[in-house]
Amino acid sequence: MIEENVKNLIREIPATNPFGEKVTLVAAVKFQSTENINRAIAAGITDIGDNHVQEFRDKYSEIQGNPKRHFIGRLQTNKVKYLVGKTDLYHSVDRLKLAEEISKRSESLSRVLLEVNVSGEESKGGFGLDEAEKAYLEISKLPNIKVVGLMTMLPDTDDESLLRALATKTRAFLDKIREKDPDFATLSMGMSGDWRICVECGSNMIRLGTAIFGARNYNK
């Protein structure tokens, strides 16, 4: 099933979004066994994203095929040390302190995305769009950090027009900063339920768990 899901997704995800950009598929691997993750990689997954530092560490050396490693979860400052040097992209930099810690621990440039909270839901982390530009400027000054774009999680809703409005707003914000900084080009937006809408609205990186692995078993 995993193999079939990956193959179908690779076929279905458009090669480029309406902005002419390649769409990168990141497999969200939380709670998955290394066996399942390796099956997904063998079927064509090139990028994997963890949410939990402990899982990232436990599985790190068992993962085959040398995929790109993303960290997509909420990150405690005191755990950054376990990820530096092993993470290709940090998606969820949601506060200055975290960026400072990544910069301090990194021996070479670490690539990060700023997490933005576009819906204003209190349960979600991230900078409000009104504070994100200031955060971008501050974090960009840190010596070992390269801010390469935005990550967001849209609300869990079937309201397509709301999702489109929020996704379009996020893309517009990316483009605003990108005018001055061409490297600010990654928009990580879209999960199993909303990725099609997100790609249509200008996402170029989607994080899929359920669509690849099926429903998660949280009891394991």
Q: Which of residues 144-203 bind ligand PLP (CB under 6 A)?
A: 153, 191-193
Write down the least CB distance from residue 182 to ligand PLP, Å.
Answer: 26
Decide: 106 and 144 in contact? Cβ < 8 Å.
yes
**Sign of dihedral through CA atoms 79, 216, 26, 63?**
positive
Write down the least CB distance from residue 73 to ligand PLP, Å.
Answer: 6
Q: Which residues contact 80 (CB under 8 A, 6 or more apart)?
A: 98, 101, 102, 105
Task: Give 5 or 192: the residue with its C-beta nearer to ligand PLP.
Answer: 192
**Identified binder of ligand PLP from the candidate list 48, 72, 118, 142, rule CB under 6 A:** 72
Write down the least CB distance from residue 107 to ligand PLP, Å.
Answer: 26
> How far apart (Å, rounded) are the C-alpha atoms in residues 128 and 86?
29
126 lies in the site for ligand PLP, by CB under 6 A: no
SS3 state of residue 178: helix
30 lies in the site for ligand PLP, by CB under 6 A: yes
> How far apart (Å, rounded) are the C-alpha atoms in residues 165 and 197?
10
Q: Which of residues 31-70 bind ligand PLP (CB under 6 A)?
A: 51
Write down the least CB distance from residue 108 to ligand PLP, Å.
Answer: 25
Q: Would you state the structure tokens that stand for residue 30, as one six-digit string? A: 């939380």
Q: How many residues does the chain have?
A: 220
28 lies in the site for ligand PLP, by CB under 6 A: yes
Contacts with ligand PLP by CB under 6 A lie at 28, 30, 51, 72-73, 153, 191-193, 207-211
